[in-house]
A and B are shown apart, each in its own frame.
Chain A
Amino acid sequence: MAEIKSLREAIAQLVRDGDTVAMEGFTHLIPFAAGHEVIRQQRKNLTLIRMTPDVIYDQLIGASCAKKLIFSWGGNPGVGSLHRLRDAVEHDWPLPLELQEHGHGDLSNAYVAGASKLPFAVLRAYVGSDLPKHNDKIKFIQCPFTGETLAAVPAIGPDVTIIHAQKADRKGNVLLWGILGVQKEAVLAAKKAIVTVEEIVDDLKAWPNACILPSWTISAVCCVPGGAFPSYAHGYYERDNRFYQAWDAIARDRKTFQAWIRRYVLETENFDEFRRVLRESVSQGVK
């Protein structure tokens, strides 16, 4: 059963140095508050998995939390590069970052295999591509029935998966809707799962086919309103595209980035305070 607790406690208890951690959310419901808390608690040597690393992993990589990244598309959506990711790959700053690189179809299948507790996923891909030359986790197998050549990739089984969702009830059952990405598969593939939610309610009032993660599939539920900012939570708030644009200049320069992480993440108590400090800075015209 999920325990309802503070995000600080959940991260302190469930995420350890050296863990393999997946924080999913396909441009929607990205668990930024949880990412910040991992930075605040200064976890190290993490293997980070995420289809689209996005600004959340740019922050974790720049803040020296990661040793390895498993991913399939590493850009700032609608803006351009993830400069902290690029600096780590191109110049080993702040630390060298090992890459294990896939395509979206591949990684999403690998999560399905993980949730199914199968050893690997099978898909029709990569014939002629250079990706298998640089990622020894991508292999080719023959179909035992037709002889067709297919790609095989190992299942993903994170130590911890972290997602953000719209609602939980008081027992810790979680409801999410809108663009679902691979969140359900990522939770079911993991040994432990943390879910931050916009609100905790008495009754989820869910329709029969709703995407529900039962309480007993989750380790901790944390109520963090706005916890997906600057991404969005369908039905609650929209994506803050200006933040994503502003991130480009912040992340481009090492010193500016470090000052930002210090001021807004390391020196704030929690996500609420981060939002408050950020709002004050914006209203004063400070970046």
Chain B
Amino acid sequence: MNAVRIAVVLAALAILAAVPWFGSDVLIQFGINALLLAVLAQGWNIIGGYTGYPSFGNSVFYGLGSYGVAIAMVQWQWPFGAGLVFGVLLAAVFAVLLGIPVLRLKGHYFAIATLALAQVMAAIVSNVKLAGRNIGLVLPPLNNDRLFYELSLGLLVLATLTIFWLTRSRFGFGLIAIRENEEGAAVMGVNTTLYKTLAFALSGIFSALAGGIHAYWVTFIDPESAFDISLNVKMIIMAVFGGPGTVLGPVVGAFSLSAISEFLSSEITSLAGLFFGVVVVAAVVLMPRGLADMLRRIRRVGWRYFAENIRTHRL
């Protein structure tokens, strides 16, 4: 990474951090949502982008983090920080216990299994009295959007730095090896089960932290919103749109898609959801390798880039 790029990134970071002092309330709210989605996308990036195990159920960790904070603060009167730790513990334990059997599955069976896990947890939690069953929990209100914004930004920085470290560490190379050729990696001495589970847990921990912050910010969670299935696709499409397996790709994807979606929500409300679906369909057909790849190659190949993508993948 040369000096210019570092300077640009630091400048962007400074601007982002200053937003709560110059932006409107609505902008800060949008910012928190976009930042948390970016964290989710980065979390997914670890297990989906780098390890090649496309989890369709990271929303389960988000939900566990949310409920961890909610139960800790509402039922046991713990402070927020302790609640976050509790949420992280829940996510980590879940990732290890259920990750080990589920990570033995390949390809889309893994995806389906994680989706099923998310559904099960939502169904289980809606029956747990401590979690408020299907009504959910109301957290003590804290009106400090600036704090939540900076927390979310900090979490995103942490997640991105983790991924950056990943790209330079043995652990990261092991994950990439698993993605490219798992059997080969095992033969070469990579402990695939350990690495996969760690990646899953790491991905889950970031999702849980995002969930915990979100829960405290919104002050109200219920099984449907905490284990929101559509979050899975949102985080995946943002990671894929921006560029899976890259350090900043998911962040770019998250910010750009959030901005477009929010703009539509406030201007042409009912069509916003429709737009989201159309973007997903179009992106998968026209630019399945993400924005980064498109920007890089469109300079060389021009509009033929899209036709090429289609030709490579169609029947």
Does B bind A?
no
